[in-house]
A and B are shown apart, each in its own frame.
Chain A
Amino acid sequence: MGIDLPLIWAIIILFGVMMYVVMDGFDLGIGLLFPFFADKHDRDVMMNTVAPVWDGNETWLVLGGAGLLAAFPLAYSVVLSALYLPLVLMLTGLIFRGVAFEFRFRARPGRLRLWDKAFAGGSLAATFFQGVTLGAFLNGLPVINDRYVGGAYAWVAPFPLFTGLGLAVAYALLGATWLVMKTEGKLQQRLRRIGRRLAWTLLAVIAIISIWTPLQHPAIAARWFSLPNLLWFAPVPVLVAITTWQLLATLRGDGHTAPFLLTLALVFLGYSGLGISLWPHVIPPSITIWDAAGPPQSLGFTLVGALLIIPMILTYTGWSYWVFRGKVRHGEGYH
C-alpha cells in the first residue's frame, strides 16, 4: 500500500482549521468584547494588539477552503452549497470586521462609532455563523448521488444555533486571555474578571455539547461510550476539567501568558473531541475522507507544496509575532 494521501490531507486540513480557530479566534474574540469596553482608548489598544497579524490569521481560513477544494472536491462542493446561507452571512461578517481595521483609523470622528459597530457586529456575525455552520455540519448533511438533498434552512435548528453561541463564548475567552497577555493595568484587571466568567460559561457549553451530541447521534455515542474507546478518550474530559481549573487560577492570580496558553489547550481539547466524534467522515454522517478524495495526482501535487511550505509559513508567521511581541500600551500602540 502506498501513502494514504486522503489521510495526510485530512490531517493537514484539520491542522489548518485548528490554526484558524485559535488565531482568528482571538481576533474575533476582541470584536466580541468590544461592546464591554466603551472607552475609545481601550478600544484602540485592543485593536492594536492584533492589527499587524489579523490578516495572516484569517488566511488559515482560506487555506482550509482551498485545501478542501484541492483534496476533497466533493466535500467542498457539497458542504459549501449545503451551508450556503450561514456561510454567506459569515463572509459578510468577515467583510465588516476586516475593513474596520483600516477604516476605523480613517474615519472622521463622527463615523468612528459606526466602524466600531461594524467591527463588533461583523465579529459577532462571523463567529456566530461559523458556529452555526459547525453545528449543522455535526448534525449531518444528507447526500444522494454526490448532491446535498437537505433543506436550505436545515441549519435553523436548536443545536446549530446553540453551537453558534457556544463558539462565541470560546472566541470571546480566547480574545480576553490574549488581551490579558497583551495589556496591563485596569484594562487587564477587567479582562481577567470577564475571562473568569467566560471560562465558567465555556465549561458549561462544552458540557452541554458533550451531552447533546451523543444523545442526538447514536453513532457518536457508540464512538465515545463503547469499550475500549471509552478508556482511550476518557482523558479528554478529564483534561478539560483540569485545564479550566488551572485557567481560573491563573486568571485570578497574576499570570500574563498562562491564561492564553491554557485557553488554547482548552480549545484544542474541544476541537479534538469534535474530531473524535466525526472521524473519518468529511461529510457526516456517511461520506468518509476516502470517498470524497480528489484524484491522487491532485493530492500528491499539492502535498509536496504543503509539506515544504507550511513549515516556512509557520516560521515567518512566528517571526512576525516576535517582532510585535510585548505589551501594547495606551497612547503607544505600534503606530
Chain B
Amino acid sequence: MDALLLARIQFGFTISFHILFPALTIGLASYLVVLEALWLRTGHDRYLTLYQFWLKIFAVAFAMGVVSGIVMAYQFGTNWSGFSRFAGGITGPLLAYEVLTAFFLEAGFLGVMLFGLKRVGPGLHFLSTCVVALGTLISATWILASNSWMHTPQGHEIIDGRAVPVDWLAVIFNPSFPYRLTHMVTAAYLATALMVGGTAAWHLLRGRDSVPVRTMLSMAMWMLLAAAPLQAVLGDLHGLNTLRHQPAKLAAMEGHWEPTPPGSGVPLILFGWPDMQAETTHYKVEIPRLGSLILTHSWDGQIPALKAFPPEDRPNSTIVFWTFRIMVGLGLLMIALALWGLWLRRAERLYGARPFLRCALAMSPAGLAAILAGWYTTEIGRQPWIVYGLQRTSEAVSPHEAGEVGFTLALFVAVYLAVFGAGTAYGLRLLAEGPRSGDDREPEGAPGQPVRHLPATEEVRHGH
C-alpha cells in the first residue's frame, strides 16, 4: 500500500474512535445538566442517583475523548502537512478558538464537576456541570465550522498557493455548517438517549426494576421521540444542501450514474451495488420518481449523475451508497422504536414489554453506528478532495515513506484496541452495575477496593 492510502486509513481509524467519545460526552453532559437541575428543583433522590451513575460513565468517556483528541490535533501536521500549509490560515484559527473557548472551559470545570460538590456546594457545582455541557457544544460548533468549510469553502482567497481568509463570518457560516452542526448535535443526543434507554432496558430485563431505572427509560424514550423525527427532517435538509453544493457526493450516495430522460424523473435506488469500474449500479431495486420527489421535492426534477463528473473527481460510490443506507436505516429504526415506546407508554406497559426492551437493548449502540456511517458518507463523499474543489487529498499528505506511516498506523491500532477496548469494558461494567441509590450503597468497584479510591462520585453523595 502507498503512504497516501496508509495515511488516510490512519486518519479514518483514529477519528472513528475519537468521534464516539465526544458524541457521548456532548449528549451525557447535557443529560447531566437536566438531571442535576431536576435534583436541585425536586429534591428527589432518583435524580441524584442517576446523576452519580451517569457521571461515572461521562468521566470514562471524557478521558478517552481527551486523549484521542490530542492525537487528532497533532495529526493535521504530522500526516497532512500539505493541508496545514494550504489551509492552516483558516482551520488553525478555528481550532485555536475551539481550544480557547471550549477545551479549557471543559477541563477547568470538569475537576469541580467530578470531585468538587462537597467543596463548592450545590450552586457552584451545578454551574460547573452547565459550563462543561456548554463547553462540549461550543467545541462541536468550532470543529464543525472548520470541517464544513472543508466541504463548502467560502470567504477566502487563494494567494500564493494558500487559502487566506478574507471574510471570517463567511468562512464560519459556510453553506453546510448550520446543517452539519444541527445534524451532529442531534445525533449525539440520539446516541446518548439510545445508550441510556438500552441500559435501562438491560436492567429491566434482568429483573432489576427500580425508580431510577424506570426514570432512565422514560427520559430516554421522550428524548428519542423528540430527536429521532427531528433528525430525519435535519437529514433531509442536509441532503438538499449537499445536492446544491456537492453534487458528485450526492450522485455517489444515490448510485446515480446516468441522467434520466426528461420528464421521467429520477428513481430512488433502494438497494444495489455501485461499480466504479463499470460505471453502473448492479442489481438495482428502485422506485420510480421517488428520487426526484425526495431530492428536488418535485415529480420530475433532475439531479446530476456521476458520469457528468470526470472519473478522477468521483467519490467512491460503492462505499458511500452503503454507509448512507446504513445511517438512514438505523434512523428509521430509531423512529420506529420511539413510536413503539410511545404506544406502550400510553398502554402503561413501557417497563414490562420484553420484546420492546430487547429491541431497545439491541439498539443501544445504533446511534454511535449511525454517526460513524454518516461521517463515512460525508467524508468519503468529499473525496478526492480534502478541501472541496480547492485541494486534493493527494496534495495534502506529508511526504513520509510508507514504512513510517505503516509503523505508526500499526502502533495506533495496537494502542487504541488495547486502551479503548479496556475503557469500553470498564464503561460496560459500570453500566451493568447500574444506578444505586445513595445511602445504602456498598463500596463500588471491585471487592477489596476501598471506597475512597473511586473518583467522580463519591462526595456527590456526601454532599447530598
Q: Tell whether, in the assembled complex, residue A313 and residue B446 are in contact, meaning their CB atoms are under 8 Å apart.
A: no
User: Please, which residues of chain A bring their CB within 8 A of the CB of B26?
Assistant: none
Contact present for B59 and A55 (CB under 8 Å): no
Instruction: Give the docked Cα–Cα distance between A139 and B164 (Å).
Output: 32
Chain A residues lying within 8 Å of B407, measured Cβ to Cβ, are: 85
Question: A99 contacts B100, CB within 8 Å?
Answer: no
Binary A-proximity of B396-413 (CB < 8 A = 1, otherwise 0): 001111001001100110
CB of A19 to closest CB in B, whole Å: 11
Is B164 a contact partner of A295 (Cβ separation < 8 A)? yes
Distance of A285 from chain B, by nearest CB (Å):
20
Do B101 and A305 have beta carbons less than 8 Å apart? yes
Chain A hits for B408, CB < 8 A? 84-85, 88
Q: How far is the CA of A44 from the CA of B454 in the complex (A)?
A: 10
**Residues of chain A lying within 8 A (CB to CB) of residue B227:** none
B93:A302 contact, CB within 8 angstroms: yes
In the bound complex, residues from chain B placing their C-beta under 8 Å from that of A29 are none
Q: Is the CB of A309 within 8 A of B100?
A: yes
Give the shortest distance, in Å, between A115 (CB) and chain B (any CB): 8
B415 pairs with A69, CB closer than 8 A: no
Q: Say whether A142 faces chain B, with CB atoms less than 8 Å apart.
A: no
Q: Nearest Cβ in chain A — how far from B130, in angstroms? A: 13
Contact B92 A76 (CB under 8 A): yes
**How many Å from the CB of A245 to the closest CB on chain B?**
35
Chain A contacts with B in 35-91, Cβ cutoff 8 A: 44, 51-53, 55-56, 58-59, 61-63, 65-71, 73-74, 76-81, 84-85, 87-89, 91
Q: Mark A74-115, 1 if CB is under 8 A from B, else 0.
A: 101111110011011101101110110111011111000000
Q: Which residues of B contact A56 (CB under 8 A)?
A: 104, 107-108, 110-111
Task: Mark B108-120 against chain A: 1 for CB-CB distance below 8 A, else 0.
Answer: 1111101110011
Query: Does residue B99 face the partner (Cβ distance < 8 Å to A)?
Result: yes
Number of interface residues of B (CB under 8 A): 84
User: Could you say which residues of chain B place their CB within 8 Å of the CB of A68?
Assistant: 77, 92
A62 to B90, CA, bound (A): 17
Let me know if A317 and B108 touch, CB within 8 A. yes
Q: How far is the CA of A301 from the CA of B101 in the complex (A)?
A: 14
B160 to chain A, nearest CB (A): 10
Q: Is A229 an interface residue (CB 8 A)?
A: no
Please give me the residue from chain B that is nearest to A102 by CB atom: B63
With contact pairs A66-B73, A317-B108, A335-B453 given, residues A52 and B114 touching in the complex (Cβ less than 8 Å)? yes
Q: Is B215 an interface residue (CB 8 A)?
A: no
Question: A3 interface residue, CB < 8 Å from B?
Answer: no
The one of B67, B74, B164 that contacts A87, using a Cβ cutoff of 8 Å: B74
Task: Please give the distance in Å from A278's CB to the nearest CB on chain B.
Answer: 19
Residues B78 and A88 in contact, CB atoms below 8 Å apart: yes
Among A173-181, A214-222, A248-256, A326-334, the stretch that binds chain B is A326-334
Q: Are A66 and B77 in contact (CB under 8 A)?
A: no
Closest residue of chain A to B82 (Cβ to Cβ) is A77
Contact of A335 among B88, B448, B454 (CB under 8 A): B454
Contact of B84 among A53, A73, A319 (CB under 8 A): A73
State whether B162 touches A69 (Cβ < 8 A). no
Q: Does A316 contact B (CB under 8 A)?
A: yes
Is A227 among interface residues, defined by CB-CB distance under 8 A?
Answer: no
Contact B99 A63 (CB under 8 A): yes
Interface class of chain B by DSSP: helix
Bound-state Cα–Cα, A98 to B60, Å? 11
In the complex, B31 has a CB within 8 A of chain A: no
Q: With A and B bound together, what is the CA distance between A84 and B6 in angstroms?
A: 15
Docked Cα-Cα span, A101 to B60, in Å, equals 9
Check A146 against B85 for contact (C-beta < 8 Å).
yes
Task: Given A56-B108, A99-B423, verify A44-B92 contact (CB < 8 Å).
Answer: no
B270 at the interface (CB under 8 A from A): no
Nearest chain-B residue to A61 (Cβ)?
B70
Do A52 and B115 touch across chains, with their CB atoms under 8 A apart?
A: yes
What 0/1 pattern do residues 199 to 225 of A give for CB contact below 8 A with B? 000000000000000000000000000
Please, how many angstroms separate the alpha-carbon atoms of A62 and B422 in the complex?
A: 25
Q: A102–B116 contact, CB under 8 A? A: no
Tell whether A302 pairs with B84 under 8 Å between CB atoms, given A52-B115, A294-B89.
Answer: no
Residues from chain B with Cβ under 8 Å of A96 in the complex:
415, 419
A102 touches B88 (CB 8 A): no
Complexed CA–CA distance, A44 and B120 (Å): 23
- Any A CB within 8 A of the CB of B95: yes
Rounded to whole angstroms, the CA-CA distance of A295 and B411 in the bound complex is 36
Residues B63 and A98 in contact, CB atoms below 8 Å apart: yes
Contact of A334 among B69, B93, B401, B459 (CB under 8 A): B459
Interface hub of B120, B411, B419, B429 (most chain A Cβ within 10 A) = B419
* Central interface residue in B60, B74, B97, B166, by most chain A CB within 10 Å: B74
Query: Smallest distance from the beta carbon of A310 to chain B beta carbons, Å?
Result: 7
Question: Cβ of B81 < 8 Å from any Cβ of A?
Answer: yes
B397 smallest CB distance to A (angstroms):
10
Closest to A298 in B: B89
Q: Which residues of B contact A55 (CB under 8 A)?
A: 62-63, 66, 106-107, 110-111
Asked if B67 and A94 make an inter-chain contact with CB atoms under 8 angstroms apart, the answer reads yes
User: Given A73-B89, A103-B422: A295 and B101 within 8 A (CB)?
Assistant: no
User: What are the residues of chain A within 8 A of B448 when measuring CB–CB?
Assistant: 109
Instruction: Tell yes or no: A238 within 8 A of B by CB.
Output: no
User: Are the CB atoms of B99 and A59 closer together than 8 Å?
Assistant: yes
Check B164–A98 contact: CB distance below 8 A.
no
- Establish whether residues A152 and B404, one from each chain, have CB atoms under 8 Å apart when the complex forms: yes
- Chain B positions 144-198 with a Cβ under 8 Å from a chain A Cβ: 159, 162, 164-166, 168
Is there a chain B Cβ closer than 8 Å to A159's Cβ?
A: no
Contacts of A316 in B (CB 8 A): 105, 108-109
**Given contacts A84-B408, A91-B70, A295-B159, are A53 and B111 in contact (CB under 8 A)?**
yes
A274–B129 Cα distance when bound, in Å, is: 40
Residue contacts A-B, CB under 8 angstroms, 13 given: A52-B110, A55-B110, A56-B108, A66-B73, A70-B96, A77-B81, A85-B404, A105-B455, A294-B88, A297-B89, A309-B104, A316-B105, A333-B453
New A-B contacts (13) at CB < 8 Å, excluding given A77-B82, A333-B452? A66-B99, A73-B88, A74-B88, A76-B77, A76-B92, A80-B76, A80-B77, A99-B422, A294-B89, A302-B96, A309-B101, A317-B108, A335-B452
The 7 closest A-B pairs by CB, nearest first: A73-B88, A80-B77, A52-B111, A70-B92, A77-B81, A69-B92, A56-B107
